[in-house]
Amino acid sequence: MNKITYFIIFFILISGCSFNKNSKFWTATQNIKEEKKEIYKDILVKEEALKHELNSNLKIKINHIIENNSENKIYHNNDGKSNFNGLLKKISKYKFSKIENFYELEPSIAFYNKNLIFFDNKGSILQFNEKSKLIWKKNYYSKSEKKTKPVLQFANNKKFLIVADNIAKYYMLDLQNGNLIWDKENLAPFNSQIKIYKDKFFIIDFSNTLRCFSIKDGSELWNIKTENTLIRSQKKLSMVIVNDILYFNNSIGDISAVDIRKGELLWQLPTQSSLIYESAFSLETSDIITDKKSIFFSNNKNQLFSIDLATGSFNWENKINSNLRPSLIGNYLFTVSLEGYLIVIDKNNGNIIRVTDIFKNFKTKKRKEIRPSGFVIGLKNLYLSTSNGRLIVIDTASGKIKSTFKIDNEKISRPIILDQNLYLIKDNAIIKLN
């Protein structure tokens, strides 16, 4: 065999896509190349988002549906629709020291009867009465811990306040006087909601571990570990509880179902490609909400999911770009995209019913800098807060903007409705409107 023959055989082996398509060697090479191509495609693909109106003149009748069941609010994360129809006049202001990096945080309020509970930038816990008068102030952090400016999460059962933070401490206070009942430390900081359920409470930490603790003394009863990565969620992780089963998400987009009574994992569903989640440090998911049959949530990667509670399988998926907690009213799922579009969806099939541009009054250049912070639905209106300190009032039936209020020049929190009052948190105060 001469040199020319060797050269021809070698050339066919290294470039034989057109010469030897049936070769097993080439088929393997082809598959590898295609797999790599898909990886890069997933990582580098430009995110698409819904950026047009749809049926913007369609009116949706939901006036007869009121979702103000306390159970839904506590366990299911679904604010639904309240009977709030306030005039949005400022009636009170609760002051506290400024919170560091407020723009990146999602601070929430705890309520005790008509009193309000919050924290300051040194980890002090403050309880105010309805007239914004301070009842008590407690701090259980050392001097060095105060310098870290701990961020606190709250949950209460009308007698006690459970507190967890981002420096791995958790403890319980008496709501009457703020006195410490017990305090503990975890192996990793916490970054999730706290759910109290009967004699237990649940938190997720930075290691993507769901931990179940006893209310009595804070001892750990069991834990469920999910895949741990270097990814840290930019938003608080979320959970809901239905019939002794807890559903939660982690920082890489996995959804898990756990039997509370046994501490056993029932199912787990990845929502992000295992090939790209190490690069998905910017993943931000919304809170999970439920109608007791399915769970619903979205993310800033242009995905909104409906997942069957019983099986952990996808009901449907839609391309909507949002990290805001959605709301369910009857068969309607409401959400707002990060680009400022109010979207109404049929929860049963994922079909988009109406899309309304609620940022259209902002100039194009300014619009790119504004993001929605969150929303809540009252009797007739949807109340949306923004990253530039605005509260936008939208007619729920038509989707049209009714009015806009300037609360601050910078980010304000998601609106919270309780007892015919609307609360907004800004960098150094809580504003109470009615």
pLDDT at 232: 65
pLDDT at 64: 58
Intervals of CATH 2.130.10.10 along the chain: 109-234+236-283
CA 96 to chain centre: 25
Phi/psi for 277 (5° steps) reads -70, -20
Please give the chain's pLDDT, 434 residues, in tens.
Answer: 555 554 444 444 444 443 333 332 233 333 333 333 343 344 344 556 777 899 988 998 876 566 554 555 679 999 888 889 998 999 999 999 888 888 788 898 999 988 999 999 999 999 999 999 999 999 999 999 999 999 999 999 989 999 999 999 999 999 999 999 999 999 999 999 999 999 999 999 999 999 999 999 999 999 999 987 766 666 899 999 999 999 999 998 899 999 999 999 999 999 987 555 544 567 899 999 999 999 999 999 999 999 999 999 999 999 999 999 999 999 999 999 999 999 999 999 999 999 999 999 888 778 888 999 999 999 999 999 999 999 999 999 999 999 999 999 999 999 999 988 999 999 999 999 99
pLDDT at 282: 78
pLDDT at 10: 45
pLDDT at 78: 92
pLDDT at 227: 87
**CATH number for the domain formed by residue range(s) 109-234+236-283:** 2.130.10.10
Phi/psi for 324 (5° steps) reads -90, 145
Any idea of the CA torsion for 302, 279, 246, 220, to the nearest 10 degrees? -160
